[in-house]
Amino acid sequence: MTIVAFYSKGTSIEVQNTWSKRLKFYYPSLKLVPLLSEEAKFATVALLWKAPLNYLNKMTRIKGLISLGQGVDHILNGNLIPENIPVVRIVDPYMAKSMSHWVLLSILNIIRETYGYFSQENTKIYKPRDEKNFLSLKIGVYGIGAIGSVVAKDLSYMGFNVQGWSRTKKKIKTITCLSGSEGFKALITNSDIHVCLLPLTPSTENIFNKHKFINMKKGSCFINAGRGEHVDENHLLDSCRSGHISNAVLDVYRNEPLPKNHPFWKQDNIRLWPHVAAETNPDTAAKQIANAIKCIDNNIVPPNTVDRTLGY
């Protein structure tokens, strides 16, 4: 029997039971137990999302950690996990497509004046609104990895002019791929819509700050489904208040849930989502997680093991 400790912040026991059922289909000898339970001290693997990592100190048998999402910053922050413990992330085509749908929805809502039409509907105004010419817009996607590359290709397929940025040079058909500091600067200054899908690492924290927003075109749209820590929230708020950033669509924040007294709530040109752009789906992710657990059990390096030097 393989004991796997489970923790997903903010979810119920029903969610754990769903994961247990899906994982046991692929790995019948697995037993999923709560991270905070007494039985967790016998676990060899932990499946985590924003867990209290201090509990891992009591788990002397742990051989590997698996993130319940694409991001692993919630595990790596603070350097609490020994280097000999592999950390594995999920790379799920379903999540990539979900993110692509959300980004496309966010962009279409802006260029087709969805929010303006909703307002007119409430006041019974039957009147066309100005539609932005999508052929003239340049969309910059920051982070064209497993998820971002799918988003960029789908946007291109829909007829948008798409440029993407990554730490190292990539080649993606129909996408102008940029890299390095000069590539980042070019994307900042040339894009009309900015989509952040970066991993969170020390080098990407606060990467969108006053300097970056000032250098974006006046009237740009900023969309963030990466991490809240990518953005200096005060600087974004100032840019939205001044109108330099015409619209922002946010799915992630520095503090989640977003506090009720946060000024974002009162800013009309900032649209807020509760971190749902691409949620992990047990039906599509269970097979690869079960395989990662098997690999860890058998001292094999699992697919999608994180490179600690890169942070993803």
Active site amino acids: 227, 275
CA nearest to 89, candidates 74, 73, 67: 67
Q: Contact at 8 Å (CB) between 9 and 257?
A: no
Take residue 98 and report the two structure tokens written for it.
């979900």
User: How distant is the alpha carbon of residue 151 from its chain centre?
Assistant: 12
Q: What is the DSSP letter of 258?
A: P
Residues paired with residue 295 on neighbouring β-strands, in sequence order: none
Residues paired with residue 45 on neighbouring β-strands, in sequence order: 4, 64
Q: Contact at 8 Å (CB) between 162 and 156?
A: yes
Q: How far apart are CA 86 and CA 36, in angstroms?
A: 21
Contacts for 271 with CB less than 8 Å, ≥ 6 apart: 106, 109, 115, 247, 248, 249, 250
